[in-house]
Amino acid sequence: MRKFIIIAMIISAAYTSLAVFGSSAAYAQTPSSSGTIVVQTIPGPTVIQKISARAESSWPWYVTRASGIVAAVALFILMLSGIGLVTGGAFRFLEPLTAWASHRALGITFGISVMIHMSALLFDHFVSFSILDLFVPWLSNYKPLDIAGFHLGSLFVALGVLAFYGVALVIITSLVWIDKKPHTWKIMHLLTYIILLFVFIHALYLGTDLAGGVMRLAWLIIGLVTALAVLYRLWRAKTL
């Protein structure tokens, strides 16, 4: 008898859950004057409908955040691996061909992530960006900056736009000129240091996940480690 009661309770709970999530009305249990429980329907959207509506309106924001994080992480690993290729440190962990192929794959991953990051902004309903805002520096009015009375416009957005053009130049020259014009390719590749700085500042002041807490601290530590690696690279090149 006890087993029968338990099974009946499980079936009843499952039926109620299906009713709440699958119908167009929610259910509530209220005690009546006689002490019995009366089930009443409450008009309104179901939980699934609320989740679907939220996902439909917010997906550009999540895609922008995710692609931005992937791009940032890929860029810093790309920079460290590039320094490792020049100094020879990368060959302690990977064979030369594998190390170069991984570096190139990271560059392509970074470029694709940047394109997704920018494209998702066009569909964002909360922060309006036009195509011109994404490709013309200082045209956007998002989070304008004033320092000591000087109006710098949307500086942090502009740094992201400038970084995009730098990335495009580095990727294109790496795919086309690395064998045909190695000297020109090397000069263009030095843009990565400027791109790195622009992306770091862009993400630090505009990144939702980097506004504070552990993520911001981690971003600052990553920036410090990369800066030390760059200084070591310059010291090895006898340019410092």
pLDDT score of 116: 92
Least confident of 58-67, 172-181, 221-230: 172-181
* Statement: residue 1 has pLDDT above 60: no
Which one has a higher pLDDT value, 183 or 238?
183
| Band of pLDDT at residue 127, cut at 50, 70 and 90 | confident
Q: Where are the domains of the chain?
A: 2-44, 54-236
pLDDT score of 162: 93
Residue 27, beta-bridge partner list: 41
Query: Hey, what are 50's tokens?
Result: 């609320």
N- to C-terminal Cα distance for the chain? 85
Ranges of beta strands (E only) in the chain are 25-31, 37-43, 145-147, 150-153
Phi, psi of 226 (to 5 degrees): -65, -40
* Statement: residue 19 has pLDDT above 50: no
pLDDT score of 161: 93
Reduced to 3 states (helix: H, G, I; strand: E, B; else coil), residue 151 is strand
> Tens digits of per-residue pLDDT, 33-73?
555 555 555 565 655 545 555 555 577 888 888 898 898 88
What average pLDDT does the segment 167-191 reach? 80
pLDDT score of 35: 55
Which one has a higher pLDDT value, 30 or 230?
230
> Tens digits of per-residue pLDDT, 76-120?
888 888 888 877 777 888 888 888 888 888 888 888 999 999 998
Query: Model pTM?
Result: 0.70
Kindly report each contact of residues 181-184 with a partner whose C-beta sits within 8 Å and lies 24 or more positions away, as own/partner: none
pLDDT score of 91: 80
* Statement: residue 16 has pLDDT above 50: no
* Alpha-carbon gap, residue 174 to 214, rounded angstroms: 35
| Band of pLDDT at residue 21, cut at 50, 70 and 90 | very low
DSSP structure class, residue 92: G
Phi, psi of 229 (to 5 degrees): -65, -40
Report yes or no: 163 and 156 within 8 Å, Cβ to Cβ.
no
Place of tokens 């190139």: 104
What average pLDDT does the segment 150-166 reach? 90
Which one has a higher pLDDT value, 55 or 170?
170
pLDDT score of 160: 92
pLDDT score of 31: 53
Report yes or no: 167 and 114 within 8 Å, Cβ to Cβ.
yes
Work out the number of other CB atoms within 10 angstroms of the CB of residue 129.
19
* CATH number, domain 54-236, options 1.25.40, 1.10.10, 1.20.950, 3.40.630: 1.20.950
